[in-house]
Amino acid sequence: MGLFSRKKIDEFVSPANGELIHLDKVNDPVFSQKLMGDGFAVKPSDNEIVAPISGVIGTVFPTKHALMITSKNGLEIMLHLGIDTVELNGQPFEMFVQENDTVKAGQKLATMDLQKVLDSGKDTPIMTIITNSDAVKDMGNFEDKSVSAGDKALEITVN
C-alpha cells in the first residue's frame, strides 16, 4: 500500500425524507441486532423512496418490499421498506426500477404508501443494510437527525 493509496469509500444518502436513525432503534430484532448486516434506517415522512447509493439493481423482491443494489466498490446493499411488510404482498409499493438497472444515488426507486402500511398494523422504517459485511473496512458513523431524501447519511470504507 503506497502512501497515496486511494481509500475506497461508498457514500450513502438518505433514501427518504424523515428521521435518520441507528438500526438499534428499529422495532425489529432482525434489523436492530444487525442479523442481516449493519447500516442505517430512516423513519420516512412521505411516500417517495430514492436510491441510497449509486449502483446496479439486483433482486427486486416480488412483494416489492425490498431490493438489492451493488455499489461500484462491491458492497451488497438491501433496501428494506418497512417492517414485516412482506406480508402485504406488494400492495403499498410501486417500483420504478428493475433488475440490472443502473441507478444514481438520490434517483427515485419506489413509493411506499405510508398510510396503507400503518393501517395494516406495520411499521414504516426504511432500512439500508450492507449484507456482505466482510467487504466493510469501516462502517463510519452518523448522528440521528432529520434528513431530506438524497442528504448525505453515511460513508463506508470498503476493503
Catalytic residues: 80
Strand partners, 12: 154
Listed in sequence order, the residues at least 6 apart from 72 whose beta carbon sits closer than 8 Å to its beta carbon are 10, 54, 55
For β-strands 145-147 and 8-13, DSSP reports them as unpaired
Measured between alpha carbons, how far is 56 from 50 in angstroms, rounded to an integer? Answer: 14
Torsions phi, psi for 23 (to 5 deg): -60, -30
Q: What cell does 139 get? A: 462502517
60-96 b/e (C-beta count within 10 Å ≥ 16 → b)? bbeebbbbbbebeeebbbbbbbbbebbebeeebbebe
For β-strands 55-60 and 102-103, DSSP reports them as antiparallel
